[in-house]
Chains A and B, each alone.
Chain A
Amino acid sequence: MKFIDPHIHMTSRTTNDYEAMSKAGIVAIIEPAFWLGQPRTEVGSFKDYFSSIVGWEAFRASQFGIKHYCTIGLNSKEANNESLAEEVMELLPLFALKDNVVAIGEIGYDDQTAAEDKYFRVQIELAKELELPILVHTPHRDKKRGTLRSMDVLEEHGIDPSTVIIDHNNEETVESVLERGYWTAFTIYPNTKMGSERMVAVVEKYGSNKIFIDSSADWGVSDPLSVPKTAQLMLDKGITSEIVQAVCYQNALEAYAQSGNMKESDWSDGVHFDQSILYGGNSVLRGQPPKKSDDSNIIEN
């Protein structure tokens, strides 16, 4: 079975993760623009970070046979630094048109401040102008209210819910998000977000329509194999493979294919970095093919 992880922060993950992900059957990933764990203080940091997720990280992923996409946006936390946020707004159009950008995101609320609200709305308008889907980060504190408010604001701006992915849902938000016609994503992340067993229960209750999962693996204790592991758990608990395919691959593809930048043919024949280059090689850095990780103490020569 093939998998997509539509929300994972690979800049903070190692090649061990890429190897494991590749081995587990993950063929495509989406890396939303986010913060780095501590607040950025200069617009240059954003510029170089955006540049790395449209270029370098996509290359790094390709070396492991994984097709990498990203979203571009100013996350809710860093929207609170208004003078910096203004500068970032000017950068966004320069990066949002790149090849592997599948949405404006991840945007939304963190503390639900006035500044967060302002830049959420500015970026919603940008997504409209550029005809890109929107990835919404729902707050981890006061989540239910924040999620409802996010949807209200999107609708105020005339956004079609089927072009929006609301992420980090839980048992408290799932019904309203599904009802209002949004893509309903769940993050399988230990302690702070969904556990995989709870996810099985959600799928048993609501089916697979408009539902998909991701790992949001980042610099914290998180698991880049959340998607394939949860898939296996679902199968073990008797959920059909059609439903598992939808929740762990097909729905994410459908949601983000709306950007025009993501399609199955991008990875169905294997991931090559730039097919138009006649002389460029796809050889792996350091001359070694991606290998399965070993338990032995010998590091390959």
Chain B
Amino acid sequence: MRLSELIKEYCLNELKDEKTKSWLDQKLHSIKTDQDFFISFALINKKIPRGHLQLSLSQLQIIQLKYPEFNIENWTLDQLCRFSLLMYYPLLSVESLTKLISVADTREQISIFKSIPYLENASHFAPIVVNGIRTNIVDVFDAITLKNPYPASYFSQDEWNQMILKAVFMERPIYQIKDIDQRKNEKLAHILFDYARERWAASRRVTPELWRMISGYITEKLFVEMIKKMAEGNAQDQKAMLKLIQESNLDAAQQWLNSQSTQIEPISWDQIGSDFWHNNQALQNASKA
């Protein structure tokens, strides 16, 4: 079964109110104009409840098996209904989607950006998504950047690099960006190292996740700079830098490693990212309390 049909089925099942259920069902099959589409999309806000789906184990297994990237646990019912409207509207175009986003509130924008990867001719919407990255509303930025297959598939190298740089700048969890390792590139590595230098010059800390995107591109010169800074970093920073060094083919790096007496515990980049992220969340919660 196609993803759109599966999701439609789940949404209709979940809607307890008969009137709402038939309204949605009817709309999905009958919208023929942009105006009707915009109004229907806006009405989701009023008509559809917000909670997560109560899926049976078999329903969950079906969708996880066929569409593991969809991460259905991250979608609420209203978001899935918007997804359905987008998937079923036959006249959806770059123009109509641009207009929709221009009048969308935060919640609606999040639904739209999560849905775009699954639309027919998804690649046509790249300018819209690239423009979406320019937001300063963190939740919208996250909807595009985190756990979303779209940027890795459709962004150009420069667009990808700008997104990563902004994610680092905004202190977002890099380890949650899809295909972060696959899209590493030399230009990005140098931009990020420059960013690290800027932070060091300002006596500010650098996220330990930064080194993940630099791994594989370290030069002798950069290696020497890094080693100098290593002593100043805390345990998390050092773990990340060590991992980069381990992954490096550089002779200087290998020699330096061999000269170290301490045992290095293996750790994944994801774990480094996750530890850093959860540590920060805890600190922020503590400061609010």
Contacts and interface: CB of A to CB of B under 8 A. Distances in A.
B46 interface: yes
B52 A276 contact: yes
A41 interface: no
A132 to B, nearest CB: 11
Interface stretch (A26-34, A135-143, A282-290): A282-290
Contacts of A299: none
Contacts, number: 92
A95 B39 CA distance: 10
A59 B105 CA distance: 11
A55 interface: yes
Which of A97, A100, A281, A301 has the largest count of B CB atoms less than 10 A from its CB? A281
Contact of A97 (B43, B74, B76, B143): B43
A100 B108 CA distance: 13
B167 to A, nearest CB: 11
Contact of B284 (A59, A99, A279, A283): A283
Contacts of B43: 97
B281 A281 contact: yes
A283 B280 contact: yes
A273 B45 contact: no
Given A97-B46, A279-B176, A55 B105 contact: yes
A278 B73 contact: yes
A219 interface: no
A99 B107 contact: yes
Nearest to B74: A278
B103 A59 contact: no
Interface of A: 47, 50-51, 54-56, 58-59, 65, 91, 93-95, 97-100, 270, 273-274, 276-283, 285, 287, 289, 301
Given A56-B137, A270-B288, A276-B79, 5 more contacts: A55-B137, A93-B42, A279-B142, A281-B281, A285-B136
